[in-house]
């Protein structure tokens, strides 16, 4: 019977594990691209609909709010239906509001579709679930972080590519109004194509698909009960809620920066839309390596099976993120702001990777529930940051407050330390899977 992969053969798609690895990060990339496709075009959309600062804040909150609920749901759905069917369904349903936003005619309709697009952000939980069931303990942190990081890069690519796509449309002779709408249809179509590819070429776990395995009476790790049982088990574990907070303070900040960076560079430093898009895009593109670096470092620190080395690393990374965020908030010019953004961005992405390098070890009986709740924490953090900005009415002040809060939340990582018995079990499992 097939088992979890104990190494990552990056240039191979001959095994179910590596096919799942590559297709899950690609699906996540497409979803993230779609999720943030609107953000770099907001200066143009703001002008067309005559949006106020409060309305833009509402749009940014809507973009991440619905994801909280969908992430909580899709984790247990992975346990019940398997990641293959869950991802296919999310891609198909998510494509509807992505295409729909191109037909928005008012602030209200734009807000409605932006809310729906947020469902695409739940794709992260399925990606983390799929790599967690496919890879052994000694490489699972790296696999989780690399897949998530490369998928996350879709947000950065959207920041850089969407303004160029809109410009290309305008150069073909259409108006700016039609140009941004036509550009936004592209990610919706990509989601539909990806749904077909994912369903055709992946399987739920190394042994096969959950439905077939259950029919044959074979037990499934991470998906034994599924659904509500998975959620209840995860919700009863205090470590889940501590990492819920830390993930809100790293991934939540990442989403917040994706949503406000382009418009912040335009308003604060008077960059052009193209320049602001490239600057904001550089933050997202750090995910190409930085998140994987966080997961890899976590695997290396815990090579002997000591899980507490993973949470200690997370604590250090979050302190660095908080310090960098304060530097970004007080940067006096565009160059300093970009340098500070890249500095804190490195720590932010690494902290995200390090968080999900801990997730597979919290409760193997409820992997979907654990991944879903902690993933939702990221969006709760983003929504909270959105409301904070709406309350202060000042982006710079919001960034300063967030820097302090991130540094404080690092203490939750230390509080999530594991017991000696759990560490011993993990060390044995790591040796057996070697």
CA torsion sign, 188 to 57 to 284 to 161? positive
Radius of gyration of the chain (CA): 21
- Cβ-contact 286, 160 below 8 angstroms: no
| Burial of 18 from C-beta contacts in 10 A (0-12 / 13-18 / 19+) | buried
Grouping H, G, I as helix, E, B as strand and the rest as coil, residue 5 is strand
* Token pair listed for 360: 């597979």
Region 17-204+226-433: CATH code: 1.20.1250.20
- Each domain of the chain, given as residue ranges in start order, spans 17-204+226-433
In sequence order, the 6+-apart residues with CB closer than 8 A to the CB of 16 are 2, 134, 202, 203, 206
Is the pTM higher than 0.75?
A: yes
Over its length of 434 residues, how does the chain's per-residue pLDDT go in tens digits? 468 999 999 999 999 999 999 999 999 999 999 998 998 898 899 989 999 888 988 888 888 888 889 998 998 899 889 999 999 999 999 999 999 999 999 999 999 999 999 999 899 999 999 999 999 988 998 999 999 989 988 888 898 899 999 999 999 988 888 999 999 999 999 999 999 999 999 999 999 999 899 888 887 765 555 567 878 889 999 999 999 999 999 999 998 998 888 889 988 898 888 898 889 888 888 888 999 999 999 999 888 768 899 999 999 999 999 999 999 999 989 999 999 999 999 999 999 999 999 998 898 888 888 999 999 999 899 999 989 998 998 889 999 999 999 999 999 999 998 877 677 766 666 665 55
Task: Return the DSSP state at 363.
Answer: -
**145, 270, 280 from 397: Cα distances, Å:** 31, 19, 19
Determine the Cα–Cα distance for residues 84 and 200; give it in Å rounded to an integer.
9
């Amino acid at each position: 019977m097939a088992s979890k992969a104990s190494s990552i053969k990056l240039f191979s798609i001959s095994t179910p594990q590596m096919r799942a690895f590559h297709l899950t990060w690609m699906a996540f990339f497409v979803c993230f691209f779609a999720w943030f496709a609107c953000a770099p075009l907001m200066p143009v959309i703001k002008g067309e609909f005559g949006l106020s600062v409060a309305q833009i804040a509402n749009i940014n909150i809507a973009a991440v709010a619905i994801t909280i609920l969908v992430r909580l749901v899709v984790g247990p759905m992975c346990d019940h239906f398997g990641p293959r069917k869950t991802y296919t369904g999310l891609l198909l349903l998510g494509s509807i509001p992505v295409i729909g936003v191109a037909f928005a005619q008012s602030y209200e309709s734009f807000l409605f579709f932006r809310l729906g697009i947020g469902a695409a952000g739940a794709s992260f939980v399925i990606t983390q679930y799929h790599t967690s069931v496919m890879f052994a303990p000694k490489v699972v942190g790296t696999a989780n972080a690399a897949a998530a990081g490369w998928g996350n890069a879709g947000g950065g690519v959207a920041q850089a590519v969407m303004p160029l796509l809109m410009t290309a449309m305008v150069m073909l002779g259409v108006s700016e109004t039609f140009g941004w709408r036509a550009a936004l249809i592209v990610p919706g179509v990509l989601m539909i194509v990806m749904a077909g590819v994912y369903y055709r070429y992946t399987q739920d776990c190394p042994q096969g698909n959950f439905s077939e395995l259950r029919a044959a009476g074979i037990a499934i790790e991470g998906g034994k009960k599924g659904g509500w049982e998975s959620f209840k088990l995860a919700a009863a574990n205090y470590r889940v809620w501590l990492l819920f907070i830390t993930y809100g303070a790293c991934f939540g900040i990442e989403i917040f920066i994706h949503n406000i960076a382009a418009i912040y560079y335009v308003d604060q430093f008077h960059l052009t839309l193209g320049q602001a898009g490239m600057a904001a895009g550089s933050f997202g593109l750090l995910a190409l390596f930085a998140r994987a670096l966080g997961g890899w470092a976590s695997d290396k620190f815990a090579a002997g099976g000591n899980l507490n080395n993973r949470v200690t690393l997370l604590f250090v990374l979050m302190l660095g993120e908080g310090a960098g965020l304060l530097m970004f908030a007080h940067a006096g010019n565009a160059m300093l702001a970009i340098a500070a953004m890249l500095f804190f961005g490195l720590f932010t992405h690494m902290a995200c990777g390090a968080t999900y390098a801990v997730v597979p070890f919290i409760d193997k009986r409820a992997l979907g529930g654990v991944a879903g709740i902690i993933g939702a924490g990221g969006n709760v953090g983003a929504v909270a940051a959105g409301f904070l900005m709406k309350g202060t009415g000042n982006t710079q002040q919001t960034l300063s407050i967030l820097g302090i809060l991130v540094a404080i939340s690092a203490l939750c990582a230390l509080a999530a330390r594991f017991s000696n018995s759990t560490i011993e079990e993990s060390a044995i499992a790591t040796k057996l899977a070697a």
